C-alpha cells in the first residue's frame, strides 16, 4: 500500500467511525435519504450508495471510490440542524460560507476549464455526454432566461443540483463554460466538497464522451 493509499484508507475509516455515531433516522428527512437498519441509501449522480459505519458501497456492494466516499461522508456528517431550501442558482463565489481563494482556483481548473478544454468546438458531443449523464435540458424551460448554446441541470445529491452552461467558440469569443450550484448547497456540503462535486461532474462528462458509441 502506497503512502497516499494508506492516508486515504485512514481517512475512510475515520469517516466510517464518525458516521457510526450518527443517528441516521434523525437526519434522513433533512437530507432526503432513505434509512433502514441504520444504513442510509443516498442517491449520488443517479446511483444508489449504501452509507453506514460499516462502509460506503455502490449498488454492487463494491467500496466506492475515494472522492465519492468523501462527498457522501461530508453530506451525512454535515447535516444542518434545520431544513434549508433555496433552489435558486448561484456561482461558487456567491456562497456566503468561507470559500478560500485556493478553492476558487481549484474549481476553475478542475471544473470549468476542464470542460471547456475537452469540449470546445464539440458542442454536440457535450450534449450527448449530458444525455448519458441524465442531464435535464432546460434551454426551452420558460421559467429560465438563459441565452446559452447548452444548458443542462444535474441532480447530484438529494439536496444539491448543478447547472451546466456552455457557449461554444465563435468568430468573436472563445468557448465559455459556467457551472452553477443551488444556493442551498452550501448548507449541505463544505466548500471543498462542493468543489470536489463539480469536479466530479466534469470528470464524468469527459468519461461519458470517451465511452460514446460512434
pLDDT tens digits along 128-178 = 999 999 999 887 666 666 788 999 999 999 999 999 999 998 878 888 999
What DSSP character marks residue 112? Answer: I
Instruction: Give the CA distances from residue 202 to residues 37, 39, 161, 209, in Å, rounded to whole numbers and listed in that order.
Output: 34, 29, 14, 11
Q: pLDDT averaged over the chain?
A: 91
> If we measure between CA atoms, which residue out of 150, 3, 26, 135 comes closest to residue 82?
26
Q: What is the pTM of this model?
A: 0.91
Q: With bands split at pLDDT 50, 70 and 90, how would you rate the model's confidence at 100?
A: low
**What's the pLDDT score for residue 114?**
96
How far, in Å, CA of 155 to CA of 85, rounded? 15
89-90 sheet: strands from edge to edge = 89-90, 176-182, 160-167, 150-157, 136-137
**What's the pLDDT score for residue 88?**
94
Average of per-residue pLDDT across 54-66:
96
How far, in Å, CA of 78 to CA of 198, rounded? 18
Share of the chain above pLDDT 90, in %: 77
Number of H helices, E strands in the chain: 7, 9
**What's the pLDDT score for residue 214?**
43
How far, in Å, CA of 143 to CA of 61, rounded? 40
Cβ contact 95:182 at 8 Å:
no
**What's the pLDDT score for residue 210?**
82
CA 92-45-188 angle, 5° bins:
45
Q: With bands split at pLDDT 50, 70 and 90, how would you rate the model's confidence at 7?
A: confident
Please, where are the H alpha helices in 24-157? 24-31, 66-77, 101-107, 113-119, 123-132
Share of the chain above pLDDT 70, in %: 91
Q: With bands split at pLDDT 50, 70 and 90, how would you rate the model's confidence at 1?
A: low
> If we measure between CA atoms, which residue out of 80, 63, 82, 81 comes closest to residue 15?
63
DSSP 33-69: -EEETTEEEEEETTEEEEEETTEEE-TTSPBPPHHHH
Every domain of the chain and the residues it spans: 3-77, 89-210
Is the pLDDT confidence value at 189 over 80?
yes
Amino acid at each position: 500500500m502506497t503512502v497516499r493509499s494508506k492516508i486515504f484508507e485512514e481517512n475512510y475509516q475515520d469517516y466510517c467511525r464518525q458516521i457510526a455515531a450518527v443517528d441516521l433516522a434523525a437526519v434522513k428527512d433533512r437530507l432526503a435519504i432513505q434509512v433502514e437498519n441504520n444504513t442510509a441509501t443516498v442517491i449520488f449522480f443517479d446511483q444508489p450508495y449504501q452509507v453506514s459505519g460499516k462502509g460506503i458501497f455502490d449498488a454492487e456492494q463494491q467500496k466506492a471510490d475515494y472522492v465519492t466516499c468523501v462527498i457522501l461522508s461530508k453530506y451525512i456528517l454535515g447535516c444542518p440542524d434545520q431544513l434549508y431550501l433555496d433552489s435558486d442558482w448561484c456561482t461558487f463565489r456567491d456562497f456566503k460560507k468561507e470559500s478560500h481563494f485556493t478553492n476558487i482556483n481549484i474549481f476553475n481548473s478542475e471544473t470549468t476549464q476542464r470542460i471547456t478544454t475537452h469540449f470546445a468546438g464539440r458542442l454536440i458531443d457535450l450534449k450527448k455526454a449530458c444525455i448519458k449523464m441524465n442531464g435535464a435540458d432546460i434551454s426551452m424551460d420558460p421559467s429560465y432566461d438563459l441565452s446559452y448554446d447548452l444548458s443542462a441541470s444535474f441532480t447530484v445529491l438529494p439536496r444539491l443540483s448543478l447547472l451546466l452552461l456552455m457557449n461554444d467558440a465563435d468568430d468573436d469569443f472563445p468557448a465559455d463554460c459556467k457551472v452553477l450550484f443551488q444556493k442551498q448547497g452550501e448548507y449541505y456540503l463544505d466548500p471543498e466538497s462542493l468543489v470536489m462535486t463539480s469536479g466530479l461532474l466534469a470528470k464524468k462528462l469527459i468519461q461519458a464522451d470517451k465511452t460514446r458509441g460512434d
